[in-house]
Structure 1
Amino acid sequence: MEDRCRVLMEALDTLDDVFYVYDADGQLLYWNARLNELFDKTDAELEGMAPTEFFVAADRPDVEAALADIFESGWTIVEARAETTEGPVTFELSGQLITDEDGTVLGFSGTGRDVTERLEREWHLERQNDRLTEFADLLAHDLRTPLAVASGHLELAAEASPSEHVEAAKAGLDRLEAIIEDIRTATREGTLATDEVTVDLAAVAQAAWSHVETDGAVLEPPAPILVDADEERLLRLFENVFANAVTHGPVSDERVTVRVEATAEGFAVEDDGRGIDPEDREWVFDPGASLVADGTGFGLYIVRAIAEAHGWAVSVTDGERGGARFEFDLDADTTGQ
């Protein structure tokens, strides 16, 4: 038994996390060597210390409240900062009540994990998201003025000389306004609201193809596929997938052929172009990601945002004809992403 205890203590001393045991009075009873290292204290100095003594004054009330939680509910998790031999560290502290068979409280045990880097990453990500939101707002503001000017001139042109070309230009400006609003919504809420009805996916895809500069590319007429979706959002999704195929897909001067087909999970969009390298597939849906120098990097990000707004998952793989294949799983659970 003594050998087992020694092995256990030696194993705890190998942990990067701090391990501790406090008695029922809140005095330090046992700890691993990591605590000695971080606070440069001997065993004699550590013995009997209170939990709050390790942390900066501003965080001690939170630690005291966490201690009360342990004795009231049996467990706790709290974050607190400390000055250590390795510099300022933020710890994620856990506590689990220890009782005997009769329910008598003996104390509590737990671990202290260094989460400083994780919190810094989260802070930087939050800052990036804030900047993205600011950028979207500025973009919307700066674009709407020339859009209003262009719309006004088109109205005058339509009055002076009605033309289907003028109407097409007006429709294009209306779609640009909708796109601006979608980007603002996506950056503010992380997703896009949907108003779903039963639509023919094939018809929406063909309408989207007419909005894209195809540069000689061909869309194979898809068979009817009924899905529950927001038609306007689905139109945007197809426009961006098609634009990606036309822009990034061609090999030399060969024209790209695109097809839309039903799958067991939902549907797929596939082209016979150059495809997307496996090492690039993890980040092509990230905002700002682009495989070409003059790309904006938001096309496939918007595709994923629209898919997830519907509760769908999207992934990219190899097409049967060597190009890129975007697969949409309509039954995926994306709530935890």
Structure 2
Amino acid sequence: MGSERREETLRELNQFREAIIQSANVWINTLDEEGNVTLWNRAAEEISGYPAADVVGDDDIWTRLYPDDDYREEILRSVEEILQGEKAVESFETTIETRDGTERIISWNSHAIVDSEGERQGSVAVGRDVTERRERERQLRRQNERLNEFSNIVSHDLRNPLTIAQGYLELARTECDSDHLEDVDIALTRIDQIVNQTLALARHGRTIDKKESTDLAQLAGHCWETVDTARGELEVDDLPRTNADPRAVRHLFENLFRNTIEHGGDDVTVRVGSCEDGFYVEDDGVGLPTDMADEIFEPVASGGGDSAGLGLAIVKRIVEAHGWRIRATESTNGGARFEIVGIDPIE
């Protein structure tokens, strides 16, 4: 009776294991010592297009998945090395041809199966379809290349004539006295701000520099001193220290402070403090339009003032480049509040 019970328990465990393997959302297959397929789960069927009935029992599947002779030979060398216990692979990517002729990129983790006595029994492979991820990365690289081209155009084709115009303005001031020259200076300064912010938007749309331990409270205080804050006041509560690109976070604080002064008034009070999973920047100004909370981070044409309409867009790019999230809401005093969350604090 005890033996029968043990056999029943073993059958139940095997059924449970089989159910887990078949319901897994990743490709799982096993090979015997000769390289023949012994297991081919549902995810493997769905990704490859080949049912287990057509695959299990032989090694013909590799010819179908890898029709190019040279490429298949390279893959099979790795399979043999894994079967012999000579190596294991992690995140090893191959491109397969599915049954319908489309190509998919699979990231593999694979190693030999060894029994309790150390004898090799074959191998197991777990594959994840990363085709869409790689396509997104390719599109992002292309987008970044276009942003880089755009930055170069802005830097050369706009900044050079702007510098020339500013030089002529200074020359004109030495030769005549006109109120119109001040208007020209304001216009040129505004163009310079737009160029700088456009370049910053493009730059932070690509990458951030190397992260390092960053004291957010200290950085916020330094940034306040470098921004024209009029009669505004800054209050800094306890802030977490985190791994970040300090140059990029400096731009983040500076743009949030400029936005606050521009829209909250010259005598606004700005508070920076900790919130759950991150930190916030809030003010006691007029607050945000209730119908624009999702739109304020988009680049817009500015209607005047000091901003080029890109400040909050730059902030969002910096936040996302760090893997953080930002949301806009109302502060405790009815002003604007920006919460940056998803931050990993460090001691």
TM-score band, normalised by shorter chain: 0.5 to 0.7
| 2:109–2:125 CA contact under 8 A, matched in 1 | yes
Q: Distance in 1 between matches of 2:257 and 2:75?
A: 55
Aligned to 1:96: 111
1:64 counterpart letter in structure 2: L
2:140 aligned partner, one-letter code: L
Structure 1 residues 179-228: Cα deviation after superposition (integer angstroms, max 9, x where no partner): 5664565456435999x997882783574235xxxxxxxx5333699999
Gaps of 5+ in 1: 211-218
| 1:216 aligned partner | none
- By how many angstroms is 1:9 displaced? 2.8
Per-residue CA deviations over 1:45-95 (Å, capped at 9, x if unaligned) read 541216733234274355335435633233433222223245522222221
1:323 aligns with 2:335: yes
Indicate yes or no: 2:95 matched with 1:81: yes
Instruction: Provide the residue aligned with 2:270 in structure 1.
Output: 260
Counterpart CA distance in 2 for 1:313 and 1:76 is 30
* 1:190 equivalent in alignment to 2:201: no
Alignment of 1:136-215 (within 5 A): 136-161=151-176, 182=200, 185-187=203-205, 189-191=207-209, 201=221, 204-205=224-225, 207-209=227-229
User: Which residue of structure 2 aligns with residue 29 of structure 1?
Assistant: 38
TM-score where L is the length of structure 1: 0.68
- 1:55 aligned partner, one-letter code: Y
Percent identity for Structure 1 against Structure 2: 25
**Cα deviation per residue 1:22-45 (whole Å; 9 max; x = unaligned)?**
122322122224445544456265
The answer to whether residue 17 in structure 2 is matched with residue 2 in structure 1 is: no
Structure 1 residue aligned with 2:144, among 105, 129, 154? 129
1:48 aligns to what? Answer: 58
SS at match of 1:20: strand
Query: Quick check: 2:21–2:41 contact (8 Å CA) kept in 1?
Result: yes
Q: 1:242 to 1:138 in 2, by over 3 A?
A: same
Residue 286 of structure 2 aligns to a residue whose secondary structure is coil
Q: Which of 295, 301, 310 is residue 298 of structure 1 equivalent to?
A: 310
The 8 Å contact of residues 111 and 125 in structure 2, kept in 1 or not, is answered as: yes
Task: Indicate whether 1:108 and 2:123 are aligned.
Answer: yes
- Distance in 2 (alpha carbons) for counterparts of 1:231 and 1:3: 56
The answer to whether the aligner puts 1:273 opposite 2:286 as a matched pair is yes
In the TM superposition, residue 268 of structure 1 has moved relative to its aligned partner by 2.9
Q: Any residues of structure 2 matched to 1:229-240 within 5 Å, and which?
A: 237=252, 240=255
Give the partner amino acid of 1:326.
F
**Distance in structure 1 (CA, Å) of the matches to 2:236 and 2:152:** 38
Distance in 2 (CA, whole Å) between partners of 1:272 and 1:112 is: 53
Q: What secondary structure does 1:81 align onto?
A: strand
Which AA in structure 1 matches 2:53?
A: D
Q: Could you tell me how far apart the structure 2 residues matched to 1:311 and 1:33 are?
A: 33
Q: Determine which structure has greater relative contact order: mean sequence separation of CA pairs < 8 Å that are 6+ residues apart, divided by chain length.
A: 2
The residue identity in structure 2 corresponding to 1:136 is: S
Q: Quote the offset at 1:107 in angstroms.
A: 1.4
Pairwise CA distance, 1:137: 1.6
CA contact (8 A) 1:96 1:108 kept: yes
Q: Secondary structure at the match of 1:208?
A: coil
Q: Secondary structure at the match of 1:263?
A: strand
2:21 aligned with 1:12: yes
Deviations 1:271-328 (A, max 9, x none): 43343769956x865xxx2478979763124335668999999764431122322357
Aligned to 2:3: none
Counterpart of 2:138 in structure 1: which amino acid? W
* Superposition deviation, residue 131 in structure 1: 1.7
**CA RMSD, aligned part only?**
5.1
| TM-score with structure 2 setting the length | 0.66
